Amino acid sequence: MYYLRPISDAIAANPAREKDMGFRTRQIHAGVTPDPLTGSILTPIYQTTTYVQPSVDEYMSRGFTYSRSGNPTVRALELKLADLEGGVDCSCFGTGMAAVQGVMLAFLNAGDHAIISDVAYGGTYRLCTKILSRFGVEFTFVDGSNLDDVAAAVRDNTTLFLTETPANPTMKCSDIAAISKIAKKAGAVHAVDNTFLTPYYQRPLELGADVSIHSTTKYMDGHNATVGGAVISATQEHAEAVLFIQNSTGSIMSPQVAWLTLQGCKTLSLRMDAQSANAMAIARHLEGHPKVKQVCYPGLESFAQHELSSRQATGYGAMLWFEVEGGLESGKKLMDNIDVFSLAENLGSVESLITHPVTMTHAAVEEAERIRVGIIDGLVRVSVGLEDIEDLIGALDKALDLV
């Protein structure tokens, strides 16, 4: 198997990696120490291509040879994310989709079969149906909330399960522990896209999953400043498989992005708590609004998997969607006339964003498939930020008055 990148003494000696320390302590300190040369409290940006070796016999003794294979700034972020998720190691990628691709290339070969959440990010759906399917990989998209359907989809050649929970954009939740047991019985790897809830609220590896995936672009960054991805593995074998793909495809995260993401991680819990509180307030307000047909947020008692969400996660997150009375045209009018919220595709940032998945994030998904899984034309997706809740609710009310 491909080797794991050695950990420098300065990083490995960090006492914040002790598991008995709290999440907020570890999100600040895990993976980083003051720079041994200058004492800088922030990990330096190691903007370098290559690393001079002390001798032929001591090749790799410092842990780094070429920045496609490993970089000290990126490594600090990888160690931090591995610590927060409770994994053995992490590989950081240039984008969230590169991370998803890394998992699929690591655990799928021609002739293999994968079971994918029927509601998944549009890029994941496109990767499966338009690209990897051309190379003899088979995919079945299954309702992850129905365990009988998940079990029935297993084939002799099933090698990978990819569960997105909560799902983008419908917020459907799937039972991570139960699906992990099905995957284990099938001898398959279970990967969970944990982007929406982050390890602060949901820890897939502790629930039995083998791999946790993140678009670090979202909550890990939190400031609309970078694009990146990460894959955290529960075992060294899986970590080595993902690392081999990261290195071989040249898809490692850049040191500049890693440095910015390291800073974003330090406030993850504070942002998540404040954004989630705002989301709950908005969901409850919209649930009683006469011009809103339906609201979908895991924290609401009316949410289909509210009990499951409460059981496997410690928070409900800051993503929700709603449907305006009048359907597509009313929803478009609302989004074109709203203040404070920005009409944009990203999520997880301190700024509140509003999105129309049918024409934006999930435009690549065929209409029949979208409708089948509940991505209706009038669905308005909201990523709730850190603005004053009075301003957010006021902006929604003002826009709803216009439809």
Collapsing DSSP states into helix, strand and coil, what is residue 357? coil
Collapsing DSSP states into helix, strand and coil, what is residue 289? coil
Phi, psi of 47 (to 5 degrees): -85, 80
Q: What order of strands is seen across the sheet that includes strand 319-324?
A: 292-296, 319-324, 379-383, 353-355, 342-343
Collapsing DSSP states into helix, strand and coil, what is residue 117? strand
Question: Any idea of the CA torsion for 232, 360, 385, 313, to the nearest 10 degrees?
Answer: -40
193 classed as catalytic: yes
Longest dimension (CA), the chain: 74
Q: Six-digit token pair at 193?
A: 């896209």
- Indicate which residue of 75, 203, 218, 332 is catalytic: 218
User: Which alpha helices (H) appear in 288-347, and where do they start and end?
Assistant: 306-312, 327-337
Collapsing DSSP states into helix, strand and coil, what is residue 60? coil
35 classed as catalytic: no
Torsion region of 185: left, alpha or beta (phi above 0 gives left; psi -120 to 50 gives alpha): alpha
- Indicate which residue of 5, 89, 121, 172 is catalytic: 121
Phi, psi of 291 (to 5 degrees): -100, 5
Q: Which residue has the tokens 């909330």?
A: 145
How far from 337 is each of 331, 357, 362, CA to CA, in Å?
10, 17, 22
- Indicate which residue of 24, 62, 68, 181 is catalytic: 68
- Indicate which residue of 83, 193, 210, 221 is catalytic: 193
β partners of residue 66: 50
Active-site amino acid positions = 68, 121, 193, 218
